[in-house]
Amino acid sequence: MTLKSKESKLINILKGFKSCAVAFSGGTDSTLLLYYLSKLNIKTKAYTFHSYLYPESELKDAENTAAMLNIEQEVIYLEPLDMIENIKYNPKERCYICKKYMFSILKQAAEKDGLAAIIEGSNYDDRKDFRPGFAAVQEIGAVSPLDMAALTKEDIRNLLKQAGLNYNKPSFACYFSRFPYNMEISKDMIEIISKSECFIHSLGFNSARVRYHNQIARIEASENHIKDIINNKEIREKITVYLKSLGFIFVCIDLEEYKTGSMNRLI
């Protein structure tokens, strides 16, 4: 299918909804959904979940995008370690547990607000990875129009570019994804990862991720960022000193280019 035909299919799918509650993270996928819903003048409300599992910058981006597209937004604040049963043990089915909890709340909110459909931004490429959260989305009755239209991540970025929207925003999974499965996680550990990544991002490496392996910090980044870090002694020292100040003993960089869901290799 061409990009044009996929776009037409997406539009036809969205036209079938009288009103929509959108799980809106502010990322590229859900932004594309909001854009077309806005363009089609379909009654829409965006619901954004936020907690210490995401940096404040993610919430700000989501708020700015919703406002720009003139879409009503509600932010739902969570305390995941306290509110979601057993999530602190980071089980393999963590994404399923989290999604089931959040989409149950979203379903209640949509019903209260009189919205007919719940939609979310899973795309066609997501089928290639371990995505237990997708099962929870389907169980709640949410719809995934991007997946239905066979839109890949590249397709989505191209459509955003055509629309004059930010198409280069890096994907961002919650901080739980930085830890090996079946490791008990505390709020302090999450804060260490948050501070580590925010510091590295402040140096210009905005796609970098820090994976937590007890006393070892394993940094993943794009190929260009890996080269820039390795070839710059001052940058290496800054990163090493800062991450060690947070409690890591060893600071390493993964020579393989960053890929989402890398911890899934341990399954």
pTM of the model as a whole = 0.90
- Asked if residue 267 has pLDDT above 70, the reply is no
d(CA 56, CA 60): 6
Could you give the percent of the chain with pLDDT greater than 70? 96
Q: Supply the pLDDT for residue 262.
A: 61
Q: What does each C-alpha distance from 29 to 51, 167, 244 come to in angstroms?
A: 20, 10, 35
Residue reference for tokens 């260490």? 192
125-146 pLDDT, tens digit per residue, is 888 776 777 888 889 999 999 9
Whether the per-residue pLDDT at 257 is higher than 80: the answer is: no
pLDDT at 138: 87
E strand intervals along the chain: 19-23, 43-50, 72-77, 117-119, 209-213, 216-220, 250-253
Residue bearing tokens 């931004």:
121
Distance CA 117, CA 167 (A): 26
In DSSP terms, 25 is beta-bridged to none
Model pLDDT for residues 175-202, shown as the tens digit of each residue: 999 999 999 999 999 999 999 999 999 9
Q: Which of 103-107, 223-227, 258-262 has the lowest mean pLDDT?
A: 258-262
| DSSP calls for 141-187 | T-B-HHHHTT--HHHHHHHHHHTTS---PPP---GGGGS-TT----H
Query: Could you tell me the strand order of the sheet in which 117-119 lies?
Result: 72-77, 43-50, 19-23, 117-119
Candidates 14, 9, 78, 81; CA nearest to 43 is 14
Domains of the chain (ranges; CATH) run: 3-162 (3.40.50.620), 175-266 (3.30.70)
How many angstroms separate the CA atoms of 195 and 174, rounded?
14
Please report, for residues 35, 52, 91, 99, 211, the alpha-carbon distance to residue 94 in angstroms, rounded to integers and kept in the order given: 30, 16, 5, 8, 17
| pLDDT value of position 176 | 95
- pLDDT (tens digit per residue) in 55-83: 999 999 999 999 999 999 999 999 999 99
CA distance 263 to 91: 12
pLDDT for residue 1: 86
